[in-house]
Structure 1
Amino acid sequence: MASSAASRAQEAAADALDRRVRPILDQVDLRNYKQAVKLADAAIKKYGDHPLYRTVKAMALERMGRKQEALDLVTDVRSGPLNEHLLGMMQPIYRNLGRYDEATKGYEKFAAEDPQNPERQIQLFNAYAREYDYLKQQQVAMKLFKQLGREQFLMWAVCTLELQALAEQGGPTGGGARMLQLAEALLRKKMGLARLEGLESLLVFLSILELQHKHAAALELIQGPAGALFTLPADKARVEGELQHKLGHYKESAAAFASVLRISPDDWAAFQAYVDALLEYREVPAQTVEAAVASDAPETVTALEADNSWMGPGKRTRLSFDEVERRLGEAHDLVAELQAVVVQSGELLRGLFLAKVELEKRRAESGEQAGGATQGQRRVAEAIVKYFDRHGTMVSFAPDVRQHVLFITDPGVAGWLAAQLQQAAERSAAAPDCKPVHALRRRIAAAQVEEQLGLVQQLPDAELYARAERLAEVYQASVPLLHGVAPRERGPAEELLVMAATCLVEGYVRTGERARLLEAILVLEQGLFDRRWQSEYKLMLVSLYLHAGAVGPALGWYRLLDIKHIQAETMAHHVLPALLASAQRDAAAGLLRELAAFHDGHLRDGADMTLTAYRNGTFSKVREFVRFKERLERSHQRLAARTESLLLRLAEAADNPTEAQALLADVGFGREPLAWSTSDRLAALSFNEDLATRPWWTPTPEQSLLDAAPLAGGAARQPWHAQEAQSARVARDARWRRSVRRRCLLPRLLALTLDLGPVSAAQAGPPAAEQATHSERGPAAKASDKSGRGKGKKKSGNKSGDVETAAGEKREPAPTSNGAAGQKRETAPREHGGENGCTAAHGSPQSPVDEMRQLVDEYARTLRPDTHAGNAPDAGPSSPGGAQPLDELSLAVFTTSLRIMEARDVLAGSGTSTEGAAQAAAALPAHFQSILARLHGLDETLAGQLFSDLPTAGASLRLLSPGRALPQLATLVHEAAAWLLLALHSWARVFPASLKRKKKTGTEDDGSADARTLAVHALQSLVSGVEAVFRSWADRLTQYLAQADVHALAAALKAELSPTETGGPSSQAGRVLTALQSWSRERQVAIMQTREQSRGGGEEENDEAVLVLDLEAVLRASLESSSEVLEQIRTASLLKANLFKKLNV
């Protein structure tokens, strides 16, 4: 009775507590956080200091952004008695604060109170999993296994051992090998006592063996009793085939994959593996290829490509041609046997019929044969024609045969194949029982293959434009077929406008005629007017609009792609580089915030997926989720976004050196970006950008054929659909590594530049502004910084939001690889030796001069990789211009800062100058003149590209095809000018005595005085010249924008796109659009019906004008966007000119 009464009393107390807490939680759910804090304080005052009230208050404080208060409060709660409910409420608070380590302390305390409680141990395991502390996970899992004896906990321990092995030096070597041996021993001991309980356990066992290259042991395992765990015979046969291949048992491997094909005839991967085994393609271990790729050594990868034992593009066999013929005959027999079964069953499968094409390609690749390479390609072409006869009506036909079509390089064979497909399409269309949509699909497939063969790219200009017109006419005639097709479904003829726009862009690349570029834009706009959800149209439009300088429409179509989740990482390259190089700084900052939110969210919550895998017993997914998390941590896009976010905010603070120094203080005065981009971390970068989605004319963000239009003499270039060679990919990755390293150098270079002052070089050591932060800074030290920090925080917090700044905000450590022992991740060190840091090789701190010299040297080498260390150019007028002119201008600025640092004794008039300092001081006027000369060169180049004269319509129209001029101008005004302005602020402080002195004193050397005087005059000339350049841009743009009439310009552009009969170079302009807008009643009805479906019904639209794309409105929107960009550049130019004028020099 007493116990029952006590239980009822406890339940009553719990109910009362819940009733009191529920209103507070309701306010948190309603996002009324101030009211929640008020209610929590009232509950504490009325009912006592219960930990649950304080925890709910901490939750509200964290949501309000008062992070330090929330952390202090919840940590105080953790010091008292804990229970499962309380820990569950504390966990999301710690998670949002990024302090899983603090949450783990709570679970450790809770588990230590009852060590034999398995539920508490499981919670502790989960806490360690969120920290990716593999060693402690293993220890807890083994404790649970010994206590409960369940296989689930043994597999937890095995998985953590595997993760430790992979984290050891990035692969299973050294200590990692011992971890794998221990995992194998645990599993073998378990199998000695009882068989494994599930397929997931077997898959992890196989993974452990394969990481040790014990393929024979793995094969023995699945051929034994454990193989019965496979639920699908095809899965077992596939694994067995892969292991037999790795062991060099090619006959057995082929037999295993043949059995897979008999079970699953459409398994294309199994068919390719079957042929690989038949032809005895030897396998190179994956880590060999990965090491070659990561080494940035194109010659290494080229050697692998040339090695006929490598299983990669262009792979060949060591067998003789006769033996290859015999074995391919076996494959043909198997395919024929399976085809007969498929035909009899009536299943619509493609794999076995495409297999015939693949076999002919393998035969042609295998070696010499009668008739040479041409005969082999002809047989491949014949097989493609046969495949076309059966599957030419499918949307997937062109993607299916793409690899085989690209194999055909002989012009005669290519022409024959294109003609055969066109004839087959026409014969099919003439058949009485042919459906219109099937006839259309065959014509489209034939046209796509003709384009893949490179034949369209070789057409003369007139024929190219005529082809675009024909494609538009076919599209126009196909619109009635849209009836009944849902808006989000693929239409029957969407590829036609892609091919038509491709022809128009090719014409622009050849001729530079603006009308072709604009018509391509309008063709795609018309396509999206009909099919709003077509993503390929949008991606092409994004590229074309960005080239035209119309950032607004480009960003609008990118937003309508509905980019979500991992696509933020893989697709941002379509717009982010262009936004960063444009005047749309707020839009760029917004996109950077989205990227940061994705990465922060996954790094915060990604462990939940791993915990789900542990909990559900899908152990093979644990490694996959962890590797995915690590890949995102090493992401090139993430590193670039973090760096660009900081640089955006630094550029905005160009008018306030104090604010700029506060921003730099938050990243260790530029040392943290150096730590993000050490040589080891750059080598480990993962490049997750999906470049396959880019249009052919811009294979990478920094490359675009449109910028070179017109190509002189029709310069030879690779086909539109050519694949990127492995060596080219390695070279591109190396180029991106150098670029992101160069950007990471900027904050430290700026920090050293801003700390210049009239001090003696003998006082070498950490710069004055860094004395408080030369060693590791804690949150309390940061909170105590007062100089200009509040203002800087407020302004920067409204922008990119990517770089961790204020006290109380979380600072994420630079990505590191988890050690085998599962150590917690540590904040990156602030000082680094070698090429990436601020410490000399012997470990002693470098002087600012030495560090600046080293960083300038490295900056130069990122621009010109052939520059040897220690030979950084003086960035004078005669320096080679192999890199972007804007980067060269920044190099000249930082080189000048270095020379000023070297000459500080002379400039300060200390009387203790060295010969080197005197030489540096004497060279300063030349450096100042060099900066001004570079700026004038950029000014002339950009003005010539953007304006031929002002403000005529012809000059204005050029703004819709500016190439790289507009983004270069925006970058010059917003970024390069910002670095120069910050540098000038600092340089002006170096001459205080010289600026005030009216005559030389007796203690001063005449040469030093003359050097100072010349330097001051040169600096004054530089400031005046820079001001004049930017004021000139402001005046030119003001004049243009005041007189430009967007409506008149749009009308002029529309007239330029109207077909003419003059026979001039643009006499064909607009005919593709005319073909598209030859409206028929059937087309109107079809589009009205599809729109009614997308709206789910509603009022019928009978007004024909609603259905016609307003070309002039589209052109007007593009011009307005370009004008908006110009207005922002004009405003920034005027602001910079005024700031330069105010400099006290």
Structure 2
Amino acid sequence: MLSREKKNHALKALTLERMGKPEEALAVCLDAKGLLFSQNDIPIDDLTLSTLQIVFQRLDRLDLATSCYELACVKYPNNLEIVMGLFNCYVREYSFVKQQQTAIKMYKIVGEERFLLWAVCSIQLQVFCSSGGEKLLSLAEALLKKHIASHSLHEPEALVIYISVLEQQAKYRDALEVLSGDLGSLIGIEADKLRIQGRLLARACDYAAAADIFQKVLQSCPDDWDTFLHYLGCLLEEDMNWPSPKSTDQICSSNYVDSQSCKGAQLMEQVFEERISSAMSFVEKLQREVHTDSVRCPYLAPIEIERQCRLKGTTDSGKLLAALLDYFYRFGHLSSFTSDVEMFLHSLTDNEKADILEKFEKSSECPLASPLKTLGRDITLLKVRELFGVNLTLPVIELENAAIRMVDVYCENLPLSRDLDPQENMYGEELLSMASSALVLLFWRTRDLGYLLEAILVVEFGLTIRK
């Protein structure tokens, strides 16, 4: 009878909370909690606990939800479902130490690998959020080694966590040995395994070996932009793309290079040209081997190479602009073009921006074979102009005409979207957003509410065509 009453109390509390009566819901919840733990002979079920937890969470009383599970665990210390509920409460409270202790308890109850990994991740969180975690990391490593000795590892995620624990302790060579051993077979995709290997070699300051590994990844995955950045960074021995662990004094980074473990900046000055030439040769090889128009990385790479040369002062700006223009020829019709090159465009001077914009506009005078590509290229030009702040300097009448032209181009190309599924975005929808933004800009410049009304009507027009 009491068991049914406590369930009714929990469901009533949930109902009251959903009805927007938080004070009444809290009062009923507290009654249910008191009833639940008032007598030792009353059984506690996970459903009632979960319901109370949901209500306490919605009422922003995580402490009360946690206390319910803590009391339940005292009564049923070996009930996995209840202990797991307590672990989730500690996760929501960011109680990393208690997370670790609870996960270890679950691991001892059933011996499952996942609970050990939860404990190790909790230890890593403690290290990330505090200082002096060397002993904790040693504990995590010892727990994993003991488990491996008795049960081995069975999931790729477990191996990744094991490697990350070694990596946090700057035990890169140990991590490489683990990766190349029997456990390395857990990572079934060779490219993923090589990426980890390259990262470990780079952290160990073995840049030459890391660059060779990243080359192999790019040969199998030529569109992996992050890997190219790592490859180029290792080739130039100034890779800044690795997230730094807490113990940065043990990590060789681009901000500080240990002259005994890594080559210094003086050597970099001597071999910079040679290594840039090697990188460009490799990129040209990738371009020859790529047989699809969807792979962008080998053609974006020369822009980054020229940017590095420019930073080093070994090239003129013409080569960087030429690389940008070549990329526009190939991919100017893609919606991703502007985001691809945004960083490079921001690095240009005002004169260079005007120059490259003029070249983009001149190259777009000839229509492409596909009307869809022509539309995409026209949108890209408008995005670049917006990125350069051209609209901010246009006279009011010219900005008005630009907004009108955007809507006209959208209407002219509506037939291209005729066969699209109703759930798909229509081609050229960005034009309406840009036209609306231009009208809002006109409102701020003139304080004429008519422009604001027209901006709303443009968006409504688009929703009328395709909601």
Q: Same fold (TM over 0.5)?
A: yes
Taking the aligned partners of 2:405 and 2:13, their CA distance within structure 1 comes to 65
What does residue range 340-379 of structure 1 map to in structure 2 within 5 Å? Answer: 340-343=288-291, 346=292, 348-365=294-311, 367-369=312-314, 375-376=316-317, 378-379=318-319
What does residue range 1000-1015 of structure 1 map to in structure 2 within 5 Å? Answer: none
- 2:146 aligned partner: 189
- 1:477 aligned partner: 412
Aligned-residue offset at 1:224: 2.7
Taking the aligned partners of 1:507 and 1:66, their CA distance within structure 2 comes to 51
Taking the aligned partners of 1:318 and 1:496, their CA distance within structure 2 comes to 51
Residues 259, 72 of structure 1: alpha-carbon distance in 2 compared, 3 angstrom cutoff: same
- 2:358 aligned partner: 419
Taking the aligned partners of 1:319 and 1:495, their CA distance within structure 2 comes to 49
What does residue range 1100-1119 of structure 1 map to in structure 2 within 5 Å? Answer: none
Residues 217, 418 of structure 1: alpha-carbon distance in 2 compared, 3 angstrom cutoff: same
Does the CA contact (< 8 Å) of 1:184 and 1:209 recur in 2? Answer: yes
Aligned-residue offset at 1:77: 3.1
- 1:333 aligned partner: 281
Does the CA contact (< 8 Å) of 2:436 and 2:456 recur in 1? Answer: no
SS in 1 for 2:413: helix
Taking the aligned partners of 2:346 and 2:254, their CA distance within structure 1 comes to 20
Note the alpha carbon deviations across 1:824-872, whole angstroms, 9 max, x for none.
xxxxxxxxxxxxxxxxxxxxxxxxxxxxxxxxxxxxxxxxxxxxxxxxx
SS in 1 for 2:412: helix
What does residue range 581-596 of structure 1 map to in structure 2 within 5 Å? Answer: none
What does residue range 1017-1096 of structure 1 map to in structure 2 within 5 Å? Answer: 1090=465
Does the CA contact (< 8 Å) of 2:90 and 2:99 recur in 1? Answer: no
Taking the aligned partners of 1:285 and 1:269, their CA distance within structure 2 comes to 11
Q: Which amino acid aligns with 1:353?
A: Y
SS in 1 for 2:313: coil
Matched, 1:102 2:71: no
Q: Which amino acid aligns with 2:195?
A: R
Matched, 1:309 2:309: no
Matched, 1:51 2:3: yes
SS in 2 for 1:428: coil
Taking the aligned partners of 1:490 and 1:395, their CA distance within structure 2 comes to 13
Matched, 1:385 2:325: yes
- 1:400 aligned partner: 340
Does the CA contact (< 8 Å) of 2:199 and 2:210 recur in 1? Answer: yes
Aligned-residue offset at 1:155: 3.1
What does residue range 984-1003 of structure 1 map to in structure 2 within 5 Å? Answer: none
- 1:67 aligned partner: 26
Taking the aligned partners of 1:284 and 1:253, their CA distance within structure 2 comes to 13
Residues 128, 262 of structure 1: alpha-carbon distance in 2 compared, 3 angstrom cutoff: same
- 1:250 aligned partner: 207
- 2:456 aligned partner: 525
What does residue range 205-354 of structure 1 map to in structure 2 within 5 Å? Answer: 205-283=162-240, 286=243, 309=255, 323-343=271-291, 346=292, 348-354=294-300
Matched, 1:441 2:441: no
Taking the aligned partners of 2:113 and 2:407, their CA distance within structure 1 comes to 64
Does the CA contact (< 8 Å) of 2:435 and 2:455 recur in 1? Answer: no
- 1:514 aligned partner: 447
Taking the aligned partners of 2:33 and 2:387, their CA distance within structure 1 comes to 63
- 2:124 aligned partner: 162
SS in 1 for 2:334: coil
Larger Rg: 1
Taking the aligned partners of 2:438 and 2:25, their CA distance within structure 1 comes to 57
Aligned-residue offset at 1:478: 2.9
SS in 1 for 2:237: coil
Taking the aligned partners of 1:387 and 1:232, their CA distance within structure 2 comes to 31
Taking the aligned partners of 2:13 and 2:111, their CA distance within structure 1 comes to 44
Q: Which runs of 5+ in 2 are unaligned?
A: 17-23, 258-264
Residues 254, 79 of structure 1: alpha-carbon distance in 2 compared, 3 angstrom cutoff: same
Sequence identity (%): 28
Taking the aligned partners of 1:71 and 1:479, their CA distance within structure 2 comes to 60
Taking the aligned partners of 2:120 and 2:32, their CA distance within structure 1 comes to 38
Q: Which amino acid aligns with 1:369?
A: T
Aligned-residue offset at 1:148: 5.1
Aligned-residue offset at 1:184: 0.8
Taking the aligned partners of 2:412 and 2:115, their CA distance within structure 1 comes to 65
SS in 1 for 2:52: helix
Residues 450, 319 of structure 1: alpha-carbon distance in 2 compared, 3 angstrom cutoff: farther
Taking the aligned partners of 1:476 and 1:94, their CA distance within structure 2 comes to 54
Q: Which amino acid aligns with 1:60?
A: K
Report the aligned-residue RMSD. 3.4
Does the CA contact (< 8 Å) of 1:284 and 1:309 recur in 2? Answer: no
What does residue range 556-635 of structure 1 map to in structure 2 within 5 Å? Answer: none
Aligned-residue offset at 1:232: 0.9
Aligned-residue offset at 1:321: 5.8
Taking the aligned partners of 2:362 and 2:134, their CA distance within structure 1 comes to 61
SS in 2 for 1:395: coil
SS in 2 for 1:362: helix
Aligned-residue offset at 1:308: 7.3
SS in 2 for 1:426: coil
- 2:159 aligned partner: 202
Taking the aligned partners of 1:128 and 1:445, their CA distance within structure 2 comes to 50
Of residues 429, 433, 453, the one that matches 2:388 is 453
Matched, 1:180 2:137: yes
Does the CA contact (< 8 Å) of 2:276 and 2:305 recur in 1? Answer: yes
Does the CA contact (< 8 Å) of 1:251 and 1:278 recur in 2? Answer: yes
Residues 240, 347 of structure 1: alpha-carbon distance in 2 compared, 3 angstrom cutoff: same
Taking the aligned partners of 1:527 and 1:394, their CA distance within structure 2 comes to 24
Residues 482, 320 of structure 1: alpha-carbon distance in 2 compared, 3 angstrom cutoff: same
- 2:49 aligned partner: 90
Does the CA contact (< 8 Å) of 1:339 and 1:353 recur in 2? Answer: yes
Residues 287, 269 of structure 1: alpha-carbon distance in 2 compared, 3 angstrom cutoff: closer
Residues 323, 476 of structure 1: alpha-carbon distance in 2 compared, 3 angstrom cutoff: same
What does residue range 543-562 of structure 1 map to in structure 2 within 5 Å? Answer: none
Does the CA contact (< 8 Å) of 2:168 and 2:245 recur in 1? Answer: no
Taking the aligned partners of 1:125 and 1:498, their CA distance within structure 2 comes to 48
Note the alpha carbon deviations across 1:309-349, whole angstroms, 9 max, x for none.
389xxxxx876566333212222222222222222xx3622
Q: Which amino acid aligns with 2:462?
A: R
Q: Which runs of 5+ in 1 are unaligned?
A: 1-48, 113-117, 292-306, 312-316, 533-1086, 1095-1145
Q: Which amino acid aligns with 1:340?
A: R
Aligned-residue offset at 1:122: 5.2
Taking the aligned partners of 2:239 and 2:323, their CA distance within structure 1 comes to 27
- 1:928 aligned partner: none
SS in 1 for 2:226: helix
Q: Which amino acid aligns with 1:233?
A: E
Taking the aligned partners of 1:264 and 1:282, their CA distance within structure 2 comes to 20
- 1:1126 aligned partner: none
Of residues 18, 22, 37, the one that matches 1:78 is 37
Note the alpha carbon deviations across 1:496-534, whole angstroms, 9 max, x for none.
34444455555555xx4223x632x344323322322xx
| TM-score (normalizing by structure 2) | 0.81
